[in-house]
Amino acid sequence: MIQFKNIQNNHKGFTLIEMMVFIFIFTITGITFYKVFATGTQAMSSVRSRLGAIQLANEKIETIHNLKYEDIGTLGGIPAGKIPQTETDTRSGKTYYVHCSVVAVDDPFDGTLAAGTDTRPADYKQIKVIVYWEDNNPAKATTAVATISPPGVEAMYTGGILSLNVLDSSAAGISQANVKIVNSTVSPAVNVQYTTDNSGNLFLPEVLPSLQTYNIQVSKNGYFSVQTYPPYPISSFNPIDTYASIVNASINQKTIVMDKASDINFYTKSPLGDVIPNVDFSLAGGRKIGNTTAVPPLPVWSLTKTTFNSGAEGEVNFSAVSPGPYYFTYPSGTENDKYQLLYLDVAGGSPDAFNLASDATLDANLILANKEIDSLLVTVLKDADGTALADASVELKSVVGSYDVTLTTNNLGEVYFPDSSATLVAGSYKLSVVAGGFTSITDQEITINKLTNQNINMVAE
């Protein structure tokens, strides 16, 4: 008799769920380890870069200390010297960007020239070395500052002093504004950059004398940049901010006003709010930079008269433009001639102008009426002087049919039919106008065919 033994397999395997859990845990652990490793590597690289920048900045300061005092200045700087303003240095495969500036300081400890208590205001020179390991990124830079006094007694200063104040329209100083000064007519030529102090002032002794040849350009993030211009007739107009002059042995004051930039969003629409594409319009204005030589003189603006097109979206965006007045015109053209300009809808604006505040965003709607659509534009005026009559009640009702709509005139005395409540068709209509203090007009007959214009003169009671 044959007997069969029941042999059991005691080797256990992994179930599918157990395998999935294992893979999940392994993946999370691997990703975590990779992130920690990558973060650590990045931190170590940043530390190495910073240490290299600090070492380079200290070496640069030490090199400057070994120069003759009269040579301590920057190429093209004020004071002039032998130190490059910018240079690069590559170490261990890392490129560093070195920026050097030197200014002569009138220390109040022994009096100041401005107060009349110091006839030798160039007390010492202050050197600033900034080393970037990512070009012009302040977060990845180190700064070293040193002061170097002249050997022996202070020398009599040469040239004049430039005292530049950078203010906004409220007369508040703008700190840390970037100031570029250029003058190719003096020797050595000047091409240098500084920043204003916390009060918005830049004080530079030992500036070479020159008459209206120092070009000053001022900028700061978030502000509309400002520059000076050469005098007429080098410029084609009479500028407000001319090139600066430096008179020997004098303090030469210069003030530049600079405000935060703003944005304008320009839309071309129908009276019902529909987008009208590909419309041309012209705009001029912003910061007034001077006057023409015509009689009478006309203003010259930062944005000279320029024609723009609203494109397929019926929109033009102006970013970071100067605050100030802007002037609008609607030119003729193939596309523009299909429409009649009704008005420019903008807060605080007039039919052809508006004012843009500092650090603001302004929406401007150019409202246009299609000349081929049956519609009516009523303009209500005061009979005495021809000025617009706002808030007048205008009723339009059809002679045949059920059309009967009442609307109120805007600040231009205008009202447009139809509105969104009913459709207007060509035909005969009656018009009534009511305004407080004026004699009412009742059931004046009018025929509408395509875009129809109607002026109503209201006589005071």
Domain 372-461 class in CATH: mainly beta
Contact 330, 305 (CB under 8 A): no
Q: CA 182 to CA 127: how far, in whole Å? A: 20
pLDDT score recorded for residue 28: 77
Residue spans of the domains in the chain: they are 52-148, 160-257, 261-370, 372-461
**Residue 81 above 60 pLDDT?**
yes
Q: What is the mean pLDDT of residues 136-165?
A: 84
Global pTM value: 0.80
What pLDDT is stored for residue 155 in this prediction? 60
Instruction: Indicate the fold that domain 52-148 takes in CATH.
Output: Pantoate--beta-alanine Ligase; Chain: A,domain 2 (3.30.1300)
The token pair at 87 is 């240079």
For residues 224 and 286, give the distance between their C-alpha atoms in angstroms, rounded to a whole number: 10
CA-derived radius of gyration, the chain: 36
Whole-number Å distance between alpha carbons of 323 and 383:
37
Confirm if 92 and 133 have CB atoms less than 8 A apart.
Answer: no
The DSSP letter of residue 243 is P
Per-residue pLDDT tens for 351-384? 889 999 999 999 999 999 999 999 999 999 999 9
- Token pair of 55, please? 């070492």
pLDDT of residue 14: 59
d(Cα 227, Cα 164) in Å, to the nearest integer?
A: 13
What would the pLDDT profile of 373-420 be if each residue is shown by its tens digit? 999 999 999 999 999 999 999 999 999 989 999 999 998 999 999 998
- Indicate the pLDDT class of residue 159, thresholds 50, 70 and 90: confident
Residue 7 has pLDDT above 50, yes or no: no
* pLDDT at residue 17 is higher than 80: no
Q: How confident is the model at residue 40, as a pLDDT? A: 59
Q: What is the pLDDT of residue 2?
A: 47
Distances from the Cα of 159 to the Cα of 112, 191, 284, 343, angstroms: 16, 17, 41, 57
pLDDT, tens digit, for every residue of 121-138? 778 899 999 999 987 788
Task: Specify whether the CB–CB gap between 257 and 168 falls below 8 A.
Answer: yes
Q: Do 377 and 452 touch, CB atoms closer than 8 A?
A: yes
| pLDDT at position 342 over 80 | yes
* Burial class of residue 112, CB neighbours in 10 A (0-12, 13-18, 19+): middle
CB within 8 A of 421, min separation 6: which ones? 405
| The pLDDT of residue 227 is above 80 | yes
Cβ within 8 Å of residue 142, ≥6 positions away: 50, 53, 54, 57, 130, 131
Task: Band the pLDDT of 43: cuts 50, 70, 90.
Answer: low
CATH code linked to domain 261-370: 2.60.40.10
* Two domains, one topology: 261-370 and 372-461: yes
Give me the mean pLDDT over the 214-225 stretch.
98
Top-level class of domain 160-257:
mainly beta
3-state secondary structure 123-164: CEEEEEEEEECCCCCHHHEEEEEEEECCCCCCCCCCCEEEEE
Of 56-60, 309-313, 346-350, 432-436, which gets the smallest average pLDDT? 346-350
Q: Round to whole Å and give the CA distance between 74 and 115.
A: 28
Question: At residue 101, does pLDDT exceed 70?
Answer: yes
Asked whether residue 1 carries a pLDDT value surpassing 50, the answer given is no
Q: How far apart are CA 452 and CA 447, in angstroms?
A: 8
Q: Which two tokens stand for residue 271?
A: 């009276």
In this prediction, residue 54 carries a pLDDT of 92
- At 27 the pLDDT is 76
pLDDT digit string, tens, across residues 258-286:
999 999 999 999 999 999 999 999 999 99
Return the structure tokens found at 357.
Answer: 């505040």
pLDDT-derived band at 455 (thresholds 50, 70, 90) equals very high
Site of tokens 């090139």: 243
